């Protein structure tokens, strides 16, 4: 067995709690077949960049408004990923919309974590607290998180892993958000990244 790992880039917009879950998984050996090589944020002041630097991971911000057009921004993003030989892109709270050109460039190589059991409470406009607000409004008894491949449809790609979380009587969107992160997102995201990294490593070793 050749000792090759999948090179991972994590794309983030905010605090990077899911990024931290991946860094922890890398440190404790849950993530064996992949290595986080790069963290990119579309916000210059994202705390996720600090988390990356603290873990000795290359961190870079690419802010859309610094580019003439969204296309130019995306071209720079693609260029940066290719220059770093990235095999797998993980969207961990990345709030920029990626074009079909981007998703086709990295087909079956982009995964996202979404804070509900898709197909519930997903698609355009469903992100962050809004997902949990809608779940509570609907009165669901069970929610959870989903890791899926990314294609041109928001939250529309093939599901890799899901985990259910119970909704409790006095839940607020904030309390529910935290429970879904702790009991689902932070567990299935590292597991999914390892699962896909293993497939990539097998492909690399067969080259």
**Which residues neighbour 150 within 8 Å (Cβ) at sequence distance 6 or greater?**
89, 91, 98, 103, 110, 111, 112, 157
Give the phi and the psi of residue 84 in degrees, each rounded to 5. -95, 10
Give dist(CA 66, CA 73) in Å, integer.
Answer: 8
Of the residues 114, 132, 148, 179, only one is catalytic, namely: 114
Concerning whether 148 is annotated as a catalytic residue, the answer is no
Residues, the chain: 207
The helix or strand, by DSSP H or E, that contains position 176, with its residue range, turns out to be helix 173-180
Q: Give SS3 for 90.
A: strand
Residues with active-site annotation: 114
């Amino acid at each position: 067995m050749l000792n090759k790992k999948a090179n991972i880039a994590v794309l983030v917009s905010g605090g990077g709690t899911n990024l931290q879950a991946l860094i922890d998984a890398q440190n404790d050996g849950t993530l064996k077949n992949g290595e986080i090589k790069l963290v990119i944020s579309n916000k210059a002041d994202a705390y996720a960049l600090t988390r990356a630097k603290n873990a000795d991971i290359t961190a870079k911000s690419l802010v859309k408004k610094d580019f003439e057009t969204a296309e130019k921004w995306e071209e720079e993003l693609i260029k940066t990923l290719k220059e770093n030989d990235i095999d797998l892109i993980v969207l961990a709270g990345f709030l920029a919309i990626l074009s079909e050109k981007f998703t086709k460039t990295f087909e079956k190589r982009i995964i996202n974590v979404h804070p509900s059991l898709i197909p519930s409470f997903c698609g355009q406009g469903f992100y962050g607290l809004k997902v949990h607000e809608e779940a509570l409004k609907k009165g669901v008894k069970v929610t959870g998180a989903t890791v899926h491949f990314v294609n041109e449809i928001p939250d529309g790609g093939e599901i890799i892993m899901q985990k259910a979380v119970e909704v409790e009587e006095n839940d607020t969107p904030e309390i529910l958000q935290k429970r879904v992160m702790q009991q689902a997102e932070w567990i299935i995201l590292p597991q999914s990244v390892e699962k896909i990294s293993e497939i990539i490593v097998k492909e690399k070793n067969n080259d």
